[in-house]
Amino acid sequence: MTVKQGWTGRFFEDFEIGDIYQHPLGRTVSETDNTWFSLLTMNTNQMHFNTEYAKKSEFEKPLVVSTLTVAIAVGQSVTDITQNAFANLGWDEIRMTHPVFAGDTLFSESLVLEKRTSASRPHAGIVTVRTRTLNQDGDEVCSFKRTFYVYRRGAEQVEGTFPDGKRPLTAEGV
């Protein structure tokens, strides 16, 4: 038998300025997601959870909390850009460009803008990307720049994180 390593994410050396990563997983936002996020973050703006209040707005229904939209966009990008990151350095130019409602499905993609080696951390580099999120109709609902530290290939911090089993994995099971 041969052990096949699963996807381990990109390292600093894998990023090239101008590359675009279309993140593979779309996410449909539910009313429950919006309610829980409002509760967890203590967001008391009724536009997010009071249908009667929202009916009086230009949108005529509750909006998804904008920070939930940003959180989903960041989460969607992890597989492609920050699986091997160890610190976010900043989010800039966050724009909410189209309303998001319960039932919308969100998709995100990221463009590599800059990269440089770290002067203080030889095991890492700094990468900046622009991420945008689209709804199911192709409307851009948000965008932002994000800068993060990411490990270099072979950094000792990411080596040997999968434990050795006390017994080998076999077809026979337990």
Q: Where are the domains of the chain?
A: 12-155
Task: Please check whether residue 107 is in contact with residue 100, taking contact to mean a CB–CB distance below 8 angstroms.
Answer: no
Residue 174's pLDDT band, with cuts at 50, 70 and 90, is low
**What's the mean pLDDT in 68-91?**
96
CA distance 16 to 20: 9
Q: Model pTM?
A: 0.89
Residue 2's pLDDT band, with cuts at 50, 70 and 90, is confident
3-state SS, residue 168: coil
- Specify the CATH number of the domain 12-155: 3.10.129.10
Is pLDDT at 8 greater than 70 in this prediction?
yes
Comparing 23-27, 42-46, 65-69, 169-173, the range with the smallest average pLDDT is 169-173
In the prediction, which pLDDT does 158 show?
85
Helices (H) and strands (E) in the chain, counts: 3, 6
Q: Of how many residues is the chain composed? A: 174
User: Pick from 141, 140, 61, 135: which is nearest to 104 by CA?
Assistant: 135
3-state SS, residue 35: helix
Name 107's bridge partners: 134
CA distance 3 to 24: 25
CA distance 165 to 61: 52
Sort residue 60 into left (φ over 0), alpha (ψ -120 to 50) or beta.
left
Is pLDDT at 170 greater than 90 in this prediction?
no
CB atoms within 10 A of CB 160: 8
Neighbour-count burial of 101, counting CB atoms closer than 10 A to its CB (0-12 exposed, 13-18 middle, 19+ buried): middle
